Amino acid sequence: MRAIILSAGQGSRLLPHTADRPKCLVPIGRRSFIEWQLRQLEAGGVTDIVVVTGFRAAMVDTELARLGKSGLAVRSIYNPFFNVADNLGSCWLARGEMDRDFIILNGDTLFESAVLARLLENARAPVTVTVDRKPRYDADDMKVRLEGDRVLDIGKTLPPEHSQAESIGLLLFRGEGARAFADAVDAAMRTPEGLKWWYLRTVAALAGRGIVSSCSIEGLEWGEMDYPQDLERLQGLTEGWVKAGRVAPRLCRED
């Protein structure tokens, strides 16, 4: 299984923590954010990882090289227009990696081990969006409209009252879904508005074809790193996962 991690952005909402380093290198405990992601993917059976870089890409490549020495199969693709395009551009640059089943992981999402395991075990549709549920949704949530498990629409601008879940930023593409997504990304980038799109807008378009389903991870833990206050919550989550053995074994070691 291949994974594509979208880590091109600076993460300006995290300033001052990202003043001189990209979001994915902000430390959570003793490890960089991206090391947490890579170790969790590896422990879940993902053996080929591609990281799309942008802001301070050389710093990320140095970290990936360090982690690669421990056996992680990871490489990078540089996005030269990360500061003028949204994350659809990163997907477009990585479309050549979408020639098999693959995962897309947002560069600001962390999860306990059981999240990936549930997704891989239960995903059957060409495209599967990992979702969580909560009592109410706000403007910053990537909201999802569902009919049973089927995804009808996805986007931040969906009315909260018509949303049944939120995307956590982890998607799985199988079989025809991989090719359909790559083609949709390419088509979107050929439009005048393409540079301003989130990649999930193309997933919403695919949902209209009836090939997008959801996998709920209700009861499991995950977190996003968008604002400085998120760091304290993620620190608490990861400490709890380590103590409970809910992360990759390597993350429980002192090195």
- Output the domain CATH number for residue 130: 3.90.550.10
Instruction: Quote the CA–CA distance of 36 and 72 in Å, as a whole number.
Output: 12
Rounded to an integer, what distance in angstroms lies between the CA atom of residue 218 and that of residue 191? 37
What is the H or E stretch that residue 153 is in? strand 150-155
Q: Tokens for 27?
A: 């430390």
Tell me whether residue 235 is in a domain: no
Q: Are strands 31-32 and 27-28 parallel, antiparallel or unpaired?
A: antiparallel
Range of the domain at 72: 2-222
The dihedral sign for the CA sequence 167, 235, 114, 10: positive
What would the DSSP string read from start to end of 182-220?
Answer: HHHHHHHHTSTTGGG--THHHHHHHHTTT-EEEEE-TTS
Q: What does each of the 255 residues of the chain score in pLDDT, given as a tens digit?
A: 999 999 999 888 989 989 999 999 999 999 999 999 999 999 999 989 999 999 999 999 999 999 988 778 899 999 999 988 889 999 999 999 999 999 999 999 999 999 999 999 999 999 999 999 999 999 889 999 999 999 999 999 999 999 999 999 999 999 999 999 999 999 999 998 888 889 999 999 999 999 999 999 999 999 999 999 999 999 999 999 999 999 988 888 766
Please check whether residue 185 lies inside any domain of the structure: yes
- CA 242, 25, 138, 151 dihedral sign is negative
Q: Report the SS3 class of residue 66.
A: helix
Is residue 230 in some structural domain? no
For residue 79, the model assigns a pLDDT of 96
Contact 120, 171 (CB under 8 A): no
> Is residue 132 in a domain?
yes
Q: Is residue 233 part of a domain?
A: no
**Is residue 242 classed as helix, strand or coil in its secondary structure?**
helix
Distances (CA, A) of 180 to 47, 174, 186, 213, 225: 23, 10, 10, 14, 29
CA-to-CA distance for 95 and 4, rounded, in angstroms? 10
Q: Is position 249 within any domain?
A: no
In a domain, 55, yes or no: yes
Quick one: 88 exposed, middle or buried, by C-beta within 10 A (0-12, 13-18, 19+)? buried
Query: Strand, coil or helix: what is 168?
Result: strand
Tally the domains of the chain.
1
- Cis peptide preceding 159, ω within 30 of 0: no
In a domain, 193, yes or no: yes
pLDDT at 62: 97
